[in-house]
């Protein structure tokens, strides 16, 4: 499964180096280019449970207010 997500931070993304590094290190996540407080990314997972688990992990990272999923491909 492949999903496109937007993480919304409580202020500009640039102030969250540690969080960004943690996300960059995750093997299933690829980051896009941030726009102020929003950071686009993709997740690739073997199944829906994997997708859900990465999404939950992201949700709990420092500075992230919420995660919106904007695209999901079920294959």
Partner 1 sequence: MNCQGTSEASDSRRQFIKSIAMAAATSAAGATTGFALPIFSNGDPILDDVAWNKAPCRFCGTGCHVQVGVQSGKVVAIAGDKNAEVNKGLLCVKGYHVGAILYGEDRLTKPLHRRGDEYQEISWSAAIEIIADRIEAAPDRFAFYGSGQWTIPEGYAAQKFMKGGLANNHIEPNARLCMASAVTGFLATYGVDEPAGCYDDLDACDVLIMWGNNPAEMHPVLFSRVVDRRSRGEKITLIDIGTRRTRTTDHCQHYLEMKGHGDLAIANGIAHLLIQNKTYNREFVESYCNFKAPDDAKPNLNGKSISFDEFVQLLNPYTPEYVEQVSGVPAQEIRMLADLFGNPDLKITSLWCMGMNQHTRGTAINTLVHGVHLLSGHFGRLGDAPTSLTGQPSACGTVREVGTLSHALPGGRVVANAEHRQQAEEFWNLPPGRINPEPGFHTVQMWESFCTPRDQGGKIDTIWVQVTNPGQTLPNLNKLFNPKERLEDKFLIVSDVYPTATTRLADLILPSAMWVEKNGLFGNSERRTQQWFKMVEPPGEARDDCWQTIAVARRLFERGMEGMKDREGRFLFEILDKNTGNAIPHWQWEHYYATNVDQHLFDEYRQFTRLKHKDLAPYSEYVKARGLRWPVVEKDGQWHETRLRFAEGFDPYVVAGRKIQFYHSTTNDDRAQIWFHPWIPPAEIPDDEYPLMLCTGRVLEHWHSGTMTRRVPELSRAMPSAYVELNAADAAAASVRNGDRVIIESRRGSIEIQAWIEGRGKPPRGTVFIPFFDESVMVNDLTLDAIDPFSKQPDYKKSAVRIRKV
CA gap 47, 15 in Å, rounded: 32
Among 21, 46, 60, 74, binds partner 1 (CB under 8 A): 74
Identify which of residues 11 and 18 has a Cβ nearer to partner 1 in the complex.
11
Query: Kindly report the CA angle at 51 between 5 and 55, in degrees rounded to 5?
Result: 55
Among 40, 45, 57, 61, binds partner 1 (CB under 8 A): 40
Q: How far is the CB of 39 from partner 1 (least distance, A)?
A: 7
| CB-neighbour burial class of residue 47 (10 A; exposed 0-12, middle 13-18, buried 19+) | exposed
- 41 touches partner 1 (CB under 8 A): yes
């Amino acid at each position: 499964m492949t999903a496109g997500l937007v993480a919304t931070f409580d202020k500009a993304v640039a102030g969250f180096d540690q969080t960004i590094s943690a996300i960059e290190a995750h093997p299933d996540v690829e980051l896009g280019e941030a726009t102020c407080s929003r950071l686009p990314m993709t997740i690739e997972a073997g199944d829906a449970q994997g997708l859900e688990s990465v999404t939950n992990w992201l949700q709990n990272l420092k500075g992230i207010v919420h995660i919106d999923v904007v695209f999901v491909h079920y294959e």
